[in-house]
């Protein structure tokens, strides 16, 4: 009987051990499946986050590039306009530095063909460059014109202005150059820098 009890105990031990192994294998398989599922979810989530970060970084890079490109374009445009301004400033300086003969030729050319009574205002920087003899010569050559030299000058300007009751002929060098610059700056920029 002892042998039978021992055989039953042994059988229970073997069954128990077998059942424990099976149970262990089942628990291990369930844990592996759970870990595998969690890993898959984690990897999917990680891939989504990586894609979001990639898209965010690409957008940030594109925005940064656009800002840098815009700033560079503004700086280039500013530099180009500075160069254009310098060119026109040099032209105005060249007009201011014209000889007395060149200055009086400009005056004669401006009054040629005019009729009526005008007041002549000199720019402050051109004061004294046209005198009574120049005015008398212009009146004599044109006939039908009267020119009175004003004692007033136009501050910080060179050249002259002729005014009658209705019209003002502005021959101030800085204004003439500014008008030319406004008319031609775009075409000059296009020609020099190849811009549209």
> What is residue 75's predicted lDDT score, i.e. its pLDDT?
85
Parse the chain into domains and list their residue ranges.
1-97, 99-193
Mean pLDDT comparison of 8-17, 31-40, 58-67, 185-194, highest-scoring range: 58-67
The class level of CATH for 99-193 reads alpha beta
Return the percent helix, strand and coil in the chain, to nearest 5: 70, 15, 15
Which tops the pLDDT comparison, 102 or 88? 102
Q: Model confidence over 19-52: pLDDT tens digits?
A: 667 777 787 787 778 888 888 888 888 888 888 8
pTM: 0.57
**Any idea what the Cα angle at residue 12 is, between residues 7 and 14, rounded to 5°?**
90
Mean pLDDT score, 130-137: 88
């Amino acid at each position: 009987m002892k042998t039978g009890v021992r055989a039953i105990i042994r059988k229970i031990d073997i069954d128990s051990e077998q059942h424990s192994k099976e149970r262990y294998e089942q628990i291990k398989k369930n844990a592996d499946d759970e870990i595998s599922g969690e890993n898959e979810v984690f990897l999917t989530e990680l891939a989504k986050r990586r894609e979001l970060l990639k898209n965010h970084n690409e957008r940030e890079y594109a925005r940064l590039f656009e800002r840098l490109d815009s700033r560079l374009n503004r700086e280039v445009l500013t530099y180009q306009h500075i160069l254009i301004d310098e060119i026109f400033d040099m032209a105005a300086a060249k007009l201011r530095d014209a000889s007395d003969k060149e200055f009086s030729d400009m005056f004669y050319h401006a009054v040629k063909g005019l009729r009526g009574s005008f007041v002549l205002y000199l720019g402050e920087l051109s004061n004294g460059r046209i005198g009574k003899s120049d005015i008398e010569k212009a009146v004599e050559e044109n006939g039908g014109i009267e020119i009175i030299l004003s004692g007033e000058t136009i501050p910080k300007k060179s050249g002259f202005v002729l005014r009658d009751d209705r019209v003002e002929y502005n021959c101030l060098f800085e204004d003439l150059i500014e008008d030319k610059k406004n008319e031609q700056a775009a075409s000059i920029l296009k020609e020099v820098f190849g811009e549209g």
